[in-house]
């Protein structure tokens, strides 16, 4: 393993951005899922200081334990916590050294019907807020709320469940949200390229979010060793 990624400092989160279409992967074209798994392993190997072939990732569901769904976890002791998100043209991986992290990203121009989309997951106040806005402001607001809900669902491991209907995410604030069965969660708006919107959720206060482009690191450490 050539080189190692410094872990996030206390109160810091790293957010890695990848455009899968611009990575010069050798060999056959891979599916988005395969690319995501390789990105997770290569970046995780950088933080752990081990060959990516030795990285082991499991998924844990709060209700069903280890399986094929739930939050991704590194099996290496002392490894960082991370979360992954995908949308057209962008893969994002958030990493934190303390507590848990959840991330979500979406294209800013994603078609959504503001009258019906994801309303089962919004609070009455959020639905009313969207209803008072004209297009395209209503759609932009809906996407903001959607990414925040997704990030909270990923940090707790419950996903975008109906339980989130009772969690108000209208504003990303310094005070934590209180999520049922998930404890306190801090919510952050991500600064991304103009074509995207995103949110970060953490179980520890974060004062610095370092957004990074992963292409150079990934290319230097491909193929898997």
Res. 82: pLDDT tops 70: yes
Structure confidence at residue 182 (pLDDT)? 55
Dist CA 188 CA 191 (whole Å)? 10
- pLDDT tens, position by position, 11-24: 999 999 999 887 76
Structure confidence at residue 1 (pLDDT)? 47
Residue with tokens 């190997």: 45
Structure confidence at residue 92 (pLDDT)? 97
Strand, helix or coil for residue 142: helix
The secondary element (H helix, E strand) that includes residue 67 is strand 65-67
Dist CA 164 CA 23 (whole Å)? 36
- pLDDT tens, position by position, 163-202: 566 677 766 455 566 665 557 889 899 999 989 999 999 9
- pLDDT tens, position by position, 193-214: 989 999 999 999 999 999 999 8
Portion of the chain with pLDDT greater than 70, in percent: 79
Give pTM, 2 decimals.
0.88
Dist CA 189 CA 208 (whole Å)? 12
Res. 113: pLDDT tops 70: yes
Structure confidence at residue 224 (pLDDT)? 47
Cα end-to-end span (Å), the chain: 8
Structure confidence at residue 179 (pLDDT)? 61
Contacts of 53 (CB under 8 A, 6+ apart): 224, 225
- CATH topology for 12-220 is Ribosomal Protein L22; Chain A (3.90.470)
Torsion, Cα of 62, 11, 184, 173 (10° steps)? -130
Of 208, 217, 189, 212, nearest to 98 by C-alpha is: 208
Lowest-confidence pick of 83-87, 112-116, 136-140, 209-213: 112-116
Q: What average pLDDT does range 51-73 have in this prediction?
A: 79
Structure confidence at residue 146 (pLDDT)? 87
Q: Which two tokens stand for residue 219?
A: 């290319």
Structure confidence at residue 167 (pLDDT)? 75
Res. 125: pLDDT tops 90: no
Portion of the chain with pLDDT greater than 90, in percent: 36
Lowest-confidence pick of 123-127, 150-154, 210-214: 123-127
Res. 109: pLDDT tops 80: yes
Sequence ranges of the domains in the chain: 12-220
Of 117, 181, 129, nearest to 155 by C-alpha is: 181
Res. 106: pLDDT tops 90: yes
């Amino acid at each position: 393993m050539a080189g190692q990624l410094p872990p996030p400092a206390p109160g810091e989160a790293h957010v890695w951005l990848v455009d899968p279409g611009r990575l010069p992967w050798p060999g056959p074209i891979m599916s988005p899922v395969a690319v995501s798994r390789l990105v997770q392993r290569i970046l995780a190997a950088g933080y752990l200081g081990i060959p990516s072939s030795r990285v082991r990732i499991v998924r844990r569901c709060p209700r069903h334990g280890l399986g094929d769904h739930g939050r991704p976890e590194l099996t290496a002791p002392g490894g960082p916590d991370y979360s992954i998100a995908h949308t057209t043209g962008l893969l994002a991986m958030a990493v934190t050294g303390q507590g848990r992290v959840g991330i979500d990203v979406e294209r800013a121009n994603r078609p959504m019907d503001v009258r019906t989309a994801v309303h089962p997951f919004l609070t009455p106040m959020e639905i009313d807020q969207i209803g008072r806005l004209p297009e395209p402001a209503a759609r932009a607001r809906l996407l903001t709320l959607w990414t925040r809900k997704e990030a909270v669902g990923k940090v707790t491991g419950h996903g975008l469940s109906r339980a989130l209907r009772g969690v108000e995410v209208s504003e990303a604030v310094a005070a934590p949200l209180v999520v049922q069965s998930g404890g306190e969660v801090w919510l952050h708006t991500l600064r991304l390229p103009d074509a995207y919107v995103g949110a970060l959720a953490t179980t520890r206060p974060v004062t610095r979010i370092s957004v990074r482009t992963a292409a150079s690191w990934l290319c230097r450490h491909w193929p898997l060793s």
